[in-house]
Structure 1
Amino acid sequence: MLPPILQDLRIPVVGSPMFIVSGPELVIAQCKAGIVGSFPALNAREKDGEPPLLDAWLTRISEELDRHNQANPDRPAAPFAVNQIVHRSNARLERDIEICHRHKVPIWITSLGARPEVNAAAHDCGGIALHDIINNVFARKAIDKGADGLIAVAAGAGGHAGPQSPFALIQEIREWFDGPLLLSGSIATGRAVLAARAMGADLAYIGSPFIATDEANAQPDYKQMICDSGAMDIVTSSLFTGVSGNYLAPSIRNAGLDPDNLDQADASAMNFGQGSSKAKAWSQIWGAGQGIGAIHDIVPAADLVDRLAREYAEAKSEMARL
């Protein structure tokens, strides 16, 4: 059974946190539209000597959603989430945990390592902790270390995607875990959201389609490339961060590299000490998942959620008639 905070969403969708792309504007729009909006804490980067930008972002998000709820009591906003990169090279982790705890962030998403102290901080302020994993072994470790739920990042997902089929990954996890389970990987339509639920996931975890929205903090060329590309344009490589991820081949070519002949890197290349792993590479190489063939236009985030909700309802009606 889902925890109460995840039960009253307009549709069973969480907008996944995307490096650089996810900021307050996108999170607020997603939440107002009725799905969970999220962002990586490391996206909030202030200059040396300035107060923590994460503090300001959380204040803005909470205040704007509170105003929305007061004005729309019959259509309240969905809760928001903050993603913590718990990799050992993230020098900001302790500070960001304290800020999120003080703001009583309702949903904590952890990545690149399961840390009991982060889960404990989430619970101490009344929140829940969801951990993203790419296989069943990591899933068990995350729950053993206190995570409340899992995000199964399957083949075809944008960014740091796993290699396993969603059918296999969800099947193995559901053999032993009946708690909150989210699925990530090529989900870009309402029909795909319903398919994720049919497989055994509670919610769909959607990122790449939201890159092509007005509120996304992405370059115009990046948004247009999402609209112009499909699954054949996605390349998997570990070169850019040290962990296998999915990227747009045209952006790799624009950076002067051959997407068909990329070197490999290992996990030792990961370094989040400056806010991201190989930030300069990320500014030129754009991530995306294989589901982007369903994205054809740059639209407001609310319009994208409307489409997903309409397609989800239509798919449910169609399945009921079978």
Structure 2
Amino acid sequence: MAIPALFKNKLSLPVICAPMFLVSSPKLVISACKNGIVGSFPSFNARTQDLLDTWLSQIRSELDEHIATNPEGPVAPFAVNLVVHPSNTRLSSDRAVVKKHQVPFVITSQGNPAEVVEEVHQWGGLVFHDVIRADHAKKAIQAGVDGIIIVTAGAGGHAGEINPFALVREIREFWNGPLALAGAINDGMGVRAAEVLGADFSYMGTRFIATEEAEVEGDYKTMLVDAQVSDLIYTDTFTGVKCNFLKPSIARAGVDLTKFTAKTHVDLDLGESNAWKDFWSAGHGVAGIKHVLPMTELVAQLKEEYRSAVATPAFSSASK
């Protein structure tokens, strides 16, 4: 287990606020970083390369200013998510903008990250790749990535199907580098549990949608607060890759999934996608969301829960 130098003394918790399509924005990213949580966003969220350029300038400028006025920190680094699947027609252009800004941390997904790894390493950046199976992790390691993100059963967005207890231990048999775990981690106890299991970071998305800084419809946040795990559906209907969605959002859009024409192939060219605007994603962690909170208050809550979990004594069979 290892924490790269990029993150040393810059985190209040070993947590990455996951990149969420049509959810993560500069406001959410900057707020997370200012609170010692790695903030990230998918390049797709900036609808043009000019806007991506503007966003990266804004994020770096505001974080640099915050660091200057708050030298004791911690202020976490930020990340950009690049979908490296061949269907992504924006990849080359987005990579050029990421290179221009020499983004310190890049998260790749859905494909071969080798070219991105080679490029990002030229300016000393790190690349973590998300996977849902051990064989995917082995391929990413061969491509030279710096870290692995394990997306397990119960995660929001494009989720895996394997239990985190099984997959973390399987990957730890051949990988001792940085490892992040995604899948229904919703509180500080979950963050600590991920560490005990063998992960260096928790990769949390759904919980951060229910923050004041997340620039999504209020109804989306209300739906998260009201939802239970039974309100989710795991389907590959919309992109050809299985994803967890809130069933009430699909019903709200007037769509009958039994009559919906499903994708017959993987299509992750989401640049002009409208489906995700109407069909809202969430992970199994929704059951633990009770309130919409400001980022500062949520991180303080996570830290307190984490400290409590760390202080929980280990089991002992010694008689008293």
- Could you tell me the TM-score, scaled by structure 2's length? 0.94
- Are 1:281 and 2:271 an aligned pair? no
Is the 2:158–2:241 Cα contact (8 Å) retained in structure 1?
yes
Give the letter aligned to residue 275 of structure 1.
Answer: G
Give the stretch that moved more between structures: 1-10 or 309-318.
Answer: 1-10
Residue 267 (structure 2) aligns with: 270
Residue 298 (structure 1) aligns with: 292
Residue 83 (structure 2) aligns with: 85
Question: How far 1:270 sits from its partner (Å)?
Answer: 0.8
Correspondences of 1:19-38 after superposition (within 5 Å): 19-38=21-40
Distance 1:167 1:102, change over 3 A: same
Deviations 1:115-137 (A, max 9, x none): 31101111111110000000000
Unaligned 5+ residue runs, structure 2? Answer: none
Question: How far 1:264 sits from its partner (Å)?
Answer: 7.8
* Aligned with residue 144 of structure 1, among 139, 142, 149: 142
Question: Distance between the aligned counterparts of 1:267 and 1:62, measured in 2?
Answer: 40
Question: How far 1:64 sits from its partner (Å)?
Answer: 0.4
Correspondences of 1:16-95 after superposition (within 5 Å): 16-46=18-48, 52-95=50-93
Question: Distance between the aligned counterparts of 2:263 and 2:90, measured in 1?
Answer: 23
Question: How far 1:319 sits from its partner (Å)?
Answer: 3.4
Residue 13 (structure 2) aligns with: 11
Correspondences of 1:211-226 after superposition (within 5 Å): 211-226=209-224
Identity of paired residues, percent? 47
**SS class of match (1:147):** coil
Give the letter aligned to residue 41 of structure 2.
Answer: F
Question: Distance between the aligned counterparts of 2:198 and 2:71, measured in 1?
Answer: 32
Question: How far 1:271 sits from its partner (Å)?
Answer: 4.1
Residue 101 (structure 2) aligns with: 103
Question: Distance between the aligned counterparts of 2:306 and 2:264, measured in 1?
Answer: 38
Distance 1:262 1:126, change over 3 A: farther
**SS class of match (2:282):** coil
Give the letter aligned to residue 297 of structure 2.
Answer: D
Question: Distance between the aligned counterparts of 1:208 and 1:198, measured in 2?
Answer: 22
Is the 1:237–1:262 Cα contact (8 Å) retained in structure 2?
no
Correspondences of 1:201-216 after superposition (within 5 Å): 201-216=199-214
Distance 1:195 1:267, change over 3 A: farther
Moved over 3 A (4+): 261-267, 319-322
Is the 1:243–1:267 Cα contact (8 Å) retained in structure 2?
no
Is the 1:234–1:249 Cα contact (8 Å) retained in structure 2?
yes
Q: Report how many residues are paired.
A: 314
**SS class of match (2:265):** helix
Question: Distance between the aligned counterparts of 1:319 and 1:298, measured in 2?
Answer: 31
* Aligned with residue 315 of structure 1, among 283, 303, 309: 309
**SS class of match (1:297):** coil
Question: Distance between the aligned counterparts of 1:38 and 1:271, measured in 2?
Answer: 19
Question: How far 1:93 sits from its partner (Å)?
Answer: 1.0
Unaligned 5+ residue runs, structure 1? Answer: none
Give the letter aligned to residue 230 of structure 1.
Answer: Q
Is the 1:243–1:265 Cα contact (8 Å) retained in structure 2?
no
After superposition, the CA RMSD in angstroms is 1.6
Distance 1:226 1:262, change over 3 A: farther
Deviations 1:211-245 (A, max 9, x none): 11111121110011011112111110010111000
Is the 1:238–1:264 Cα contact (8 Å) retained in structure 2?
no
Give the letter aligned to residue 206 of structure 1.
Answer: M
Correspondences of 1:100-179 after superposition (within 5 Å): 100-179=98-177
Question: How far 1:265 sits from its partner (Å)?
Answer: 3.9
Deviations 1:248-296 (A, max 9, x none): 011111122346x476845624141x515xx221111000000111111
Question: How far 1:6 sits from its partner (Å)?
Answer: 2.5
**SS class of match (2:312):** helix
**SS class of match (1:81):** strand
Question: Distance between the aligned counterparts of 2:213 and 2:285, measured in 1?
Answer: 20
Question: Distance between the aligned counterparts of 1:113 and 1:6, measured in 2?
Answer: 26
